[in-house]
Amino acid sequence: MTRKLGIFSPTDEWRGRAFVTVPLGELAGVDAATVKRVGMWRGGDRIPAQIDRIDPEFPALDVVSMVLHNLRPGGASLGLETVQLSPVLESDDSQMGDEDQPLREATPESLTVKAKDLGVYVEHDKRAEMWTNRMRLHIHLPKEPTGYQGGSITSIQLDDGEMLDPIRAEIGPRDHDPEKRLQVDRVRIANPPWYEAPWTEHLVYKEAWTCVQAGAGPVRAFVNLRSSPFTVAHDGPSFVCHLHRVISVFHDVDHIIDDLYVTGRPADNENDAPVQLSFAAHYFLKMNFSVFPEITRVPQIPDWFSIGASVNPYPGYGFASSVPCGRIDNPPMDYPNIRSEHSAFSWELGFARTVQCLHMFKRKTPAGVVADETGRAWFDLIFKRARANIT
Amino acid sequence: MSYEMVQTLSEVDDVATQAVQRLDIEDDISTNLDALYEKLKEADRVAPDDDVRFVASGEQLMRTIIYFTSGRKNALDAMAWVGEQWKGKTRDPNPMTILSMLALRYLVEEGMKHSDSDRIETWRRFRARLAAGSEKDADVVQNDFLASLAPNA
């Protein structure tokens, strides 16, 4: 079937490549519940695309993810391009080539989904591994053995070098900082206006996380991680809630995307469909940038910041988000380990119903360049990201 | 004065040990002695005839170790200690440079103590190059403290 692909690239520059998603429900004529894959061709070229069922309990989050190349500047070009759309249904898997077909291996203990150069491996309730041609992530799910690493990314390798403890990676593989990690450690849910406290804080790092969904394809690999339940109780009904992190990795890049949302069900009726709640996430990062890290912020744009170092191996981290970021604590007020307090960071995000965050990692890059590239990534990939629709 | 006679000048070694203890990087140096040896060997190979460059590479290596493993409080305390100890003795004291040089000195001495016969000659060469390079470096920057690390200080 022939469709119109609408592309909205709201910048003044050409984009070599852009990651965009289109809600699966918006594809008229396609049965969202049964479609397995879509094939799209733009000007004779196959568009890398995959169907991502993000959350089994939330079909509304299902998207078609695609990578578009050579987007022209100047804003909307809606309906100007024609794509051939070919949905593949459960019962009809033979009409497309296998070049983009991910390999899926499921056992009672684990799930592996592999595509070309990227993939994800999940060992239920224990760990998840994600990889691309440049990055490799290890995600620790249970609360044991430390009691504080639930749901955290405990290893991030870029070009075969560990980023969370770059000096150990530089001088040898031994004795990495056992605390190194990137995690969402707490979440705040707003209280009603008549409450004394403006919010209630829930610690999600002390409990186990689980993986509720994983997928991979020609565009990205992702895992959807869910925190242990926490109860949000106000004067009326109370809700059993979970924080979700959808972590995505992509070809050829040095960043990951982290989508956050909170779901809640009425505590007295768990068969009801879940709803999404507004929340404020709080991040914790344990990464060594030397004893004197260089934090760069632009006061007028609180949506991103970067951390760099002034000595070899010049590690860098950039954070960008779709919501404003509050104060960056280094170390956090309640961080107990004085010996390594220089490598502990935490920051809080503003309230929102869904949050998209970008975590960028650099090596051998001066702090100023890390800041430049983080700001650029925030502008290109979050603030003025390319959008698309199919009609 | 031959370099061997420097061993009798234990003052610099004592100060180097104090600096490393204040930075609390003794364990990091001993744990990673093999890796640091390889890094110095690489610097030795890259600059076979340039002692100043060898010392500069070693100083940068130890600066990295201090920056990434010492801890913020230890680093600040050690920098303040250097400021007190060398107040008025150097024209433009950069405490981190002084600490890095002392840590490099400590590293070489540790390497001499704990190496087997295969490596002892290499460590001895490192020590001689450190002494020669520090002396030349001191000539260039007119830094009295670096001169104090040289054999004829």
Instruction: State whether residue B123 is helix, strand or coil.
Output: helix
Percent of the residues in chain A that have a pLDDT greater than 90, as a whole number: 60
- For the cut 80, the answer to whether the pLDDT of residue A348 exceeds it is yes
State the Cα–Cα distance between residues A205 and A143, nearest whole angstrom: 7
DSSP code of A236?
Answer: S
* Size of chain B, expressed as the number of residues it contains: 153
Asked if A171 and B36 come within 8 Å (Cβ–Cβ), the reply is yes
State the Cα–Cα distance between residues A314 and A375, nearest whole angstrom: 18
Contact B143, B69 (CB under 8 A): no
Bridge partners (DSSP) of residue A63 are A23, A52
Q: In A256-291, which positions are buried (b, 16+ CB within 10 angstroms) versus exposed (e)?
A: bbbbbbbbbbeeeeeeeebebbebbbbbbbbbbbbb
Return the structure tokens found at B43. 């610097």
Three-class SS of A75-128: EEEEEEEEEEEEEEECCCCCCCCCCCCCEEEECCCEEEEEECCEEEEEECCCEE
What mean pLDDT do residues A270-288 have?
Answer: 92
Q: Return the pLDDT at A116.
A: 84
Residues 280-309 of A with CB under 8 A from B: 288, 290-292, 309
Bridge partners (DSSP) of residue A356 are A259
Q: Return the pLDDT at A90.
A: 47
Q: Return the pLDDT at B6.
A: 38
Q: Work out the minimum CA distance from A152 to partner chain B, whole angstroms.
A: 22
DSSP string, A193-223: TTSSSSEEEEE-SSS--EEEEEEE-SSEEEE
Kindly report which listed range (A20-24, A95-99, A178-182, A252-256) carries the lowest average pLDDT score: A95-99
State the Cα–Cα distance between residues B93 and A389, nearest whole angstrom: 62
Residue with tokens 């594809």: A27
ipTM associated with this complex: 0.78
Burial of A46 (0-12, 13-18, 19+ CB in 10 A): middle
Q: What's the mean per-residue pLDDT of chain A?
A: 88
H-type alpha helices, chain A? 166-171, 367-377
Return the structure tokens found at A118. 């990227």
State the Cα–Cα distance between residues A235 and A54, nearest whole angstrom: 32
Return the structure tokens found at A58. 């939330």
Q: What's the mean per-residue pLDDT of chain B?
A: 81
Q: Return the pLDDT at A154.
A: 96
Asked if B72 and A311 come within 8 Å (Cβ–Cβ), the reply is no
Q: Return the pLDDT at B7.
A: 40
State the Cα–Cα distance between residues B133 and B110, nearest whole angstrom: 19
Bridge partners (DSSP) of residue A89 are A35
State the Cα–Cα distance between residues B61 and B99, nearest whole angstrom: 12
What mean pLDDT do residues A323-327 have?
Answer: 95
Q: Report angle CA A255, A293, A153 to the nearest 5 degrees.
A: 40
Contact A163, A315 (CB under 8 A): yes
pLDDT band, residue A211 (cuts 50/70/90):
very high
- For residue A310, which residues of chain B lie inside 8 Å, CB to CB? 67
Query: Which H or E element spans position A354?
Result: strand A354-362
Return the structure tokens found at A22. 């289109």
Asked if A175 and B31 come within 8 Å (Cβ–Cβ), the reply is yes
Return the structure tokens found at A10. 């709201």
**pLDDT tens-digit series, residues B55-94:** 999 999 999 999 999 999 999 999 999 888 877 666 666 8
Q: Return the pLDDT at B1.
A: 35
Size of interface A-B (CB pairs under 8 A): 51
**pLDDT tens-digit series, residues B98-147:** 899 999 999 999 999 988 888 899 999 998 888 887 666 554 444 555 55
Q: Return the pLDDT at B145.
A: 53
Residues 34-53 of B with CB under 8 A from A: 34-36, 39
**pLDDT tens-digit series, residues A68-88:** 888 888 766 555 566 666 666
Q: Which amino acid is at A216?
A: A
Bridge partners (DSSP) of residue A106 are A111
Contact A308, A316 (CB under 8 A): yes
Q: Return the pLDDT at B56.
A: 92
How many CB atoms lie under 10 A from the CB of residue B71? 21
The domain limits of chain B are 3-149
Q: How far is CA A310 from CA A247, A346, B144, in A?
A: 30, 21, 26
Return the structure tokens found at A132. 């691309």
Partner residue facing A341 (CB), from B32, B69, B72: B72
Residue with tokens 């100043």: B52
DSSP code of A352?
Answer: B
Residues 53-72 of B with CB under 8 A from A: 60, 63-72
Asked if A311 and B68 come within 8 Å (Cβ–Cβ), the reply is yes
Select the highest-mean-pLDDT range: A74-88, A342-356, B11-25.
Answer: A342-356
Contact A226, A128 (CB under 8 A): no
- pTM given for the model: 0.89
Sorted by sequence, the CB contacts under 8 Å of residue A132 that are 6+ apart come out as A117, A118, A221, A249, A250, A251, A252, A253
Q: Return the pLDDT at B92.
A: 63
Return the structure tokens found at A313. 């191996």
Q: A49-52 and A63-71: which strand pairing?
A: antiparallel
- For the cut 50, the answer to whether the pLDDT of residue A355 exceeds it is yes
Asked if A342 and B69 come within 8 Å (Cβ–Cβ), the reply is no
- For the cut 70, the answer to whether the pLDDT of residue A95 exceeds it is no
Contact A170, A228 (CB under 8 A): no
State the Cα–Cα distance between residues A7 and A151, nearest whole angstrom: 35
What mean pLDDT do residues A363-370 have?
Answer: 96
Kindly report which listed range (A1-10, A123-132, A258-267, B78-87) carries the lowest average pLDDT score: A1-10
Sorted by sequence, the CB contacts under 8 Å of residue B72 that are 6+ apart come out as A291, A292, A341, A342
**Higher-scoring residue by pLDDT: A204, B149:** A204
Q: Return the pLDDT at A1.
A: 67
Q: Return the pLDDT at B8.
A: 35
